[in-house]
Structure 1
Amino acid sequence: MPTTQTPHRTPLKRVSQGSFFALSRSGAFPDAPHGLGFLEPALSEFVDETEALQANVEGMKNLSDSLATFNESFASWLYIMNMNALTTDWTQAPTNASFVMAKRRAEQDALNAMEALKAKRREAEAAAADRTAMTEVTDAEITFAGNTTTNTSGQTSKFGTAPKKKLGKPKLTAKEKKQRSLEIEKIISCLPLEFRGSDPNLRRCMEMVIEGLMSSSSGAVKLTDLITPPDLTQARVNKCLIALVNRKVVRKDNSTGTVLYHWQGIP
């Protein structure tokens, strides 16, 4: 009799040994579900994760479609702008002639400014010459009046006594004028900003007030002595005197019943 041979069998892996039933009913998991019931929670979680993955992939696809639409629209806009720049003539754009005209206009403005400055300087020199001539004429009239009113014997002349005229300010030499200008500039540099050039009119008024105080023979003046309309009004003179008193360049004295301002200089 032919001998029966046992068919060849592949040995099972360790995990595959036994049945799922035996694995589910093992002693390690005594309360595990019956049969293949333990696969249901895992498959349910796998389905949820798969749906989330599908939603994320769809979101990425929508984002890609939006970016593609924007890129196409933006590229079209750039292309249109480029074509517009190449095909449109800008008639108002500056040319070489425009720059030449601008340079000539700037040179003409500079020349006009120089002419105006020269004209102003000539007017100032003419005004100074007129003031000098008036001072010389006044001094000559005073000298002539003094010679004709009295003779050597002390008797009055036949023309009678001439009315006394107010003596003008003593005439300063060029060196004295320069020294006084430097002293005035030094005093103004110690005053607030509005007197140092922020307001040119106020600076000029301050210079006139300081010069009036320095030219006083008695060393003390009243406020009304410094008023010279229309430049030196009472309000401007008062403002300048207040600044000088605060800086202690001028001393205010009202002990005699009359307000007097005494010149002291920079302490």
Structure 2
Amino acid sequence: MPPTTQTPHRTPLKRVSQGSLFALSRSGAFPDAPHGLGFLEPAMAEFVDETEALQANLEGMKHLSDSLATFNESFASWLYIMNMNALTTDWTQAPTDASFLLAKRRAEQDAMNAMEALKAKKEAMVREAEAAIADRTAMTEATEAEMTYTANVTTASGQTTKSATGPKKKPGKPKLTAKEKKERALEIEKIISCLPLEFRGSDPNLRRSMEMVIEGLLNSTTRSAKLTDLITPPDLSQARVNKCLIALVNRKVVRKDNSTGTVLYHWQGIP
């Protein structure tokens, strides 16, 4: 059989494809449609506008890329300079081993100061307690001495006759020369300057009482006296003499001794 030649397949043109543009332009559905290809003009104008907007956006992206590249280069240069500066510069203010040792010593010194302050506070509290106890003891002893003195006077007055003389007077103060008086005044001033503020002039009457107590101890032949020996009413009451003696004992100018059963105050002077 002779070979048969096949005709290539062709898709038949649709009716709408034949003169579709012309038919669309003349369609009754769009009586106002432009003639021919006139309807493409608005579409192409819009396409041109969108293309220009796309071009502007692409140029903006390129400008942003260029700006980022410039910033990255500048920032990388700054980081490199800072790194080189850190490697080649000596930081004198940076802490060293000596700084840590100094800080450790300061901490130890602060701790020692705090301990010493606490110790001094405890010692002050102990001294105040001892002074209070000594005050109460002196008051009790003075009261007992006054009671004993009153009883002795009463007993002696019952045994004496009408012709008996009165009680003996206390010996007067020894006479001092002008030089000795000046030295005595300087010594008293030196002692009072070591005492608390209330004895140094804050209370003039108390200062005068302290001077009289010191003079009474210095005028004694043995440089010692009992509390009752220093009482001189109305200038020196028992409470004021006791307060002055407590201050002198705390300053260690006077030593308190009750080993013999009677409280005696011995003059020692400034240590």
The normalised TM-score by structure 1 is 0.50
**Structure 2: how far apart are the matches of 1:140 and 1:28?**
139
How much has 1:94 moved relative to structure 2? 1.3
Larger radius of gyration: 2
State the secondary structure of the residue aligned to 1:115.
Answer: helix
Distance 1:128 1:19 in 2: 125
The aligned residue for residue 138 of structure 1 is 139
Equivalent pairs, count: 160
Distance 2:9 2:146 in 1: 160
Q: Which residue of 2 aligns with 1:104?
A: 105
1:195-221 CA distance string (max 9 Å, x none): xxxxxxxxxxxxxxxxxxxxxxxxxxx
Give the 5 Å matches for 1:13-24: 13-14=13-14, 15-18=16-19, 20-24=21-25
1:20 and 1:116 map into 2 onto residues whose CA distance is 110
Partner of 1:124: 125
Q: Secondary structure at the match of 1:47?
A: helix
Per the alignment, do residues 115 and 102 of structure 1 end up closer, same or farther by CA in structure 2, a change over 3 Å counting?
A: same
Counterpart in 2 of 1:60? 61
RMSD over equivalenced CA pairs, Å: 3.5
Aligned-residue offset at 1:137: 0.8
Quote the Cα distance in structure 2 between the aligned partners of 1:49 and 1:77. Answer: 42
Q: CA–CA distance in 2 between the matches of 1:12 and 1:42?
A: 30
| Structure 1 residue ranges without an equivalent (≥5) | 1-7, 169-267
Which residue in the other structure is 2:35 paired with?
Answer: 34
Q: Deviations over 1:136-171 (max 9, x none)?
A: 111111122123335778x89969xx98xx999xxx
Q: Which has the higher contact order (CA 8 A, sep 6+)?
A: 2
Question: Structure 2: which 5+ residue stretches go unaligned?
Answer: 1-7, 159-165, 169-231, 240-271
Q: Which residue of 2 is the match for residue 71 of structure 1? A: 72
- Partner letter of residue 48 of structure 1? D
Label 1:131 to 1:19 Cα distance change in 2 as closer, same or farther (>3 A): closer
Percent of aligned pairs sharing the same letter: 65
Name the structure 2 match of 1:85: 86
